[in-house]
Chains A and B, each alone.
Chain A
Amino acid sequence: MTLDLPVIFAILMGTAIFAYVVLDGYDLGVGMLLPAAESREQDVMVSSIGPFWDANETWLVLGIGLLLVAFPAAHGIVLTALYLPVVAMLIGLMLRGVAFEFRMKAEGWHRELWNWLFWFGSFLASLAQGLMLGSYITGFESGVGYFLFALVVAGGVCGGYVLLGATWLIWRTEGALQKKAIGWTRWGLLWVALGVALVSLGTPLASETVRAKWFDLPRMLPLMLLPLASAAAWLWIWRLTRRLRKGEAVPDWSPFSGAVAIYLVAFTGLAYSLFPFVVMDRMTIWEAAAHPSSLKVVLIGALIVLPFIVGYTIYSYWVFRGKASAKLYE
């Protein structure tokens, strides 16, 4: 039996990017929510992501690394076409990453400055990622219409990250801050609903390939399960927030898992829209694939190492289970 290596690597890369979006998504979301909280709450919020953000960001390096390793021909095209948003994202991630460290060591107005840079970096990175996604879906078409479409996608991505961040805070905090996080979750949900609706309407308009794939009758019926699942998860979180507000006993991790479910569905839909293209309408994964010899060696390495990565990641989340406190270093 021969393995279809490009397909395996497309799945691996998709998994890494999905892991990145969910994991860094919640900490970027927490970063964007920072100005909405009081100073003491901000310390708790940052503490809740402290042990994780570094490893979360590593999934981006893995995703981009797999693009580079497995689809080198596409890597150059994609990153060249997305040059400016990539730079903006990188500067955002840099500011966010160092602000995290600097704000803990600073006092007075320095601390305030780093708080704002933390927020700005998180927002810039999220916005840039949304612009990249919007431009990627349409195969890097340029023009005002396409740019507006990318902006809408960017808004949706920011809203999605806020939802992840807010539900993360419901899970990891308590008291007044958790109450605020419930309110933020509702805002996030509304924002996501608007974003998903606009993107779902806009994508078939912006891309003929996507339209053909989704609105084809026999296939359309099972495909409609995806938006239905997404709507169900949305309603579930909305109801959970209502019960939380009433003070009913609800597992504190459930809204976050609902948000992850929405992402999973959206991501599946996106993967279906794109496959088998790695550069929309221009280059398939087979055309872009690296030489089988180098794919094999990476695959063997990945299969050996990935279980360890998953193992110690679980260990880390187990060590830092429970509610966060402001005293991170204690």
Chain B
Amino acid sequence: MEASDTLLLARAQFGLNIAFHILFPSITIALAWILVYFRAQYARTGEAAWLETYKLWTKIFALTFALGVVSGITMSFQFGTNWPGFMNTVGNIAGPLLAFEVLTAFFLEATFLGVMLFGMNRVPGWAHLGSTVMVAVGTSLSAFWILALNSWMQTPTGHTYADGQIIAADWWQVIFNPSFPYRLTHMMLASGLTAAFVVAGLSAWRLLKAGTDAAARRTLRSGVVLAAVLAPLQAVVGDLHGLNTLEHQPAKIAAMEAIWKTDKGVPLVLFAIPNEQERRNDYAIEIPKGASLVLKHSPDAELLGLDAFGPDIPPVAPVFFFFRLMVGMGMLMIALSWLGAWMTRGTAAAPRWLLWAFAGFTFSGWIATLSGWMVTEIGRQPWLVTGVLRTADAVGPVTGAQLGASLTGYLITYGLMLLAYMVVLTHLAGKGSSPPSYPSTALREGAAA
């Protein structure tokens, strides 16, 4: 087995795992806060409909959370199995950040999740609301630490070399590195949008199946309004994040926009097929001077092209296409959420075609979020930690055969879990929250009594 094949397999396996993993936190980070809202509304009004809504969505949360936990545990091992060079080189930075995530976030969310799910009749109302808040705090803290680490890998600052190792000179600078505030905000909003579309989409699905359902109408409206507020905000934050990337990782921007040559008055490429051999774009549709205008706010400004970075450039085509997929998805999400917010205003009932549109967009946040991560992670190549560690230098001695066998195992397991997840979610949403949680158990108990 060639070393490059092992590298490719190690990356494929880690990429598969991390992509599978991020699906679930991207929902739960924000859904936890939406649950706080549902729970607080029930505490405030005492209405049974809010309680039903809360109970249905805690079930969906629990399922999503469980998938996030089990795939996350896998990741904590794959740092060592797939990238031993990562920990050997930057373990003194990455280790403490991961340890703080476990200590401050994982135990908090896992423990209070138990109280939140099963403790409603065992603790006072305030303690139950408090547990719901603790779960939300835990998921957000988790995002904070892991994004601090990822941002440090993108734009490392605050480290120094001592005794032949990389150590932290200033933890504040390590954590609050240049890209961190942008990435954290961008990801929190991404989670908000993903969760908003899941809430709106599953509520729409319920309305399609059950006709009138007061609780589902209300959650549809909640999801749609939340999406309509967050989607344009995300466009602004995304733009600011891009400008930050231009400053700190110009090669990534050059790949995102497929700019091959350093030039003044660079056009904005709307569509093209990047030709990596010839280092040019085929079939390009361009807006003259557009990229200079967007990125430098001046039509004749100079932009660095990929030629400015020698051999250290990322693969252009995937970065270019995933970026367009993310932006396109974001545009559609803005359009649909605004249309939905307008059409469901006041007491207006949503027409069926709109419900179908939202049901179809249930997992749209996944596509946008995954595309965004593809852009930022592939765009960092060939570096694992920009300017510090190359991906190729971090791969371990695990053989290609072992990687291949385990990759197959993971693929089957993930495929099964993802399928089951989506089936159960639509099933839960479709059947509604009014019947008892466990029809089968309740029936058996009735028969026994």
Residues of A within 8 A of B (CB): 39-40, 43, 50-52, 54-55, 57-58, 60-62, 64-66, 68-70, 72-73, 75-80, 83-84, 86-88, 90-91, 93-95, 97-98, 100-102, 104-107, 111, 290-291, 293-294, 297-298, 301-302, 305-306, 309, 312-313, 315-316, 319-320, 326-330
Whether the Cβ atoms of A58 and B165 lie closer than 8 Å is: no
A72 lies within 8 A of B95 (CB): yes
CB closest chain-A residue, reference B442: A327
The residues of B with any CB-CB pair to A shorter than 8 Å are: 55, 59, 62-63, 65-67, 69-74, 76-77, 79-81, 84-85, 87-88, 91-93, 95-96, 98-100, 102-104, 106-108, 110-115, 117-119, 121-123, 162-163, 165, 167-168, 171, 396-398, 402, 405-406, 409-410, 413, 417, 420-421, 424, 427-428, 437-442, 444-445, 448
A76 near B88 with CB under 8 A, answer yes
CB closest residue in chain B, given A64: B76
B81 touches A98 (CB 8 A): no
For B111, give its contact among A40, A86, A313 (CB under 8 Å). A313
Chain A residues with CB under 8 Å of B55's CB are: 329
Interface residues of B, dominant DSSP: helix
Q: Is the CB of B117 within 8 A of A69?
A: no
Q: Which 8 A-B pairs have the closest CB atoms?
A: A76-B84, A51-B114, A72-B91, A69-B95, A79-B80, A294-B92, A54-B110, A55-B110
Whether A87 and B409, one on each chain, are in contact in the complex, defined by CB atoms closer than 8 angstroms, is yes
Q: Which listed residue, B87, B114, B396, B444, touches A54 by the CB 8 Å rule?
A: B114
A40–B119 Cα gap in the complex (Å)?
Answer: 21
- For the complex formed, measure the closest distance between the CB of B366 and the CB atoms of chain A, giving whole angstroms: 18
> Shortest Cβ distance from B116 into chain A, in angstroms?
10
Decide yes or no: A60 and B73 within 8 Å by CB, A91-B413, A98-B66, A327-B441 being known contacts: yes
With both chains docked as a complex, state the minimum distance between the C-beta of B372 and any C-beta of chain A, in angstroms: 25
Name B424's contact: one of A58, A102, A297, A316 (CB within 8 Å).
A102
B103→A312 contact, CB < 8 A: no
Q: 30 A-B residue contacts at CB 8 Å? A: A40-B445, A51-B114, A57-B110, A62-B106, A64-B77, A68-B79, A69-B91, A69-B98, A75-B91, A76-B80, A80-B396, A84-B402, A91-B413, A94-B70, A94-B74, A101-B62, A105-B424, A107-B439, A111-B440, A294-B95, A294-B168, A297-B171, A298-B96, A309-B111, A316-B111, A320-B122, A327-B441, A329-B117, A329-B438, A330-B437
CB distance from B67 to the nearest CB of A (A): 6
- The smallest beta-carbon distance between B398 and chain A, in angstroms, is 5
Report if A319-B99 is in contact (Cβ < 8 Å); known contacts: A72-B87, A101-B66, A102-B424: no
The residue in A54, A301, A305 that gathers the most chain B C-beta atoms within 10 A of its C-beta is A54
B119, A51: Cβ atoms under 8 Å?
A: yes
Complex: A58 Cα to B109 Cα, angstroms: 10
CA distance A31 to B59 in the complex (A): 21
* A268–B447 alpha-carbon span in the complex (Å): 50
Additional pairs, 16, CB under 8 Å, beyond known A90-B74, A94-B70 = A40-B441, A58-B102, A61-B73, A72-B88, A72-B95, A76-B84, A94-B71, A94-B73, A94-B413, A94-B417, A98-B63, A105-B59, A107-B440, A294-B96, A294-B167, A301-B96
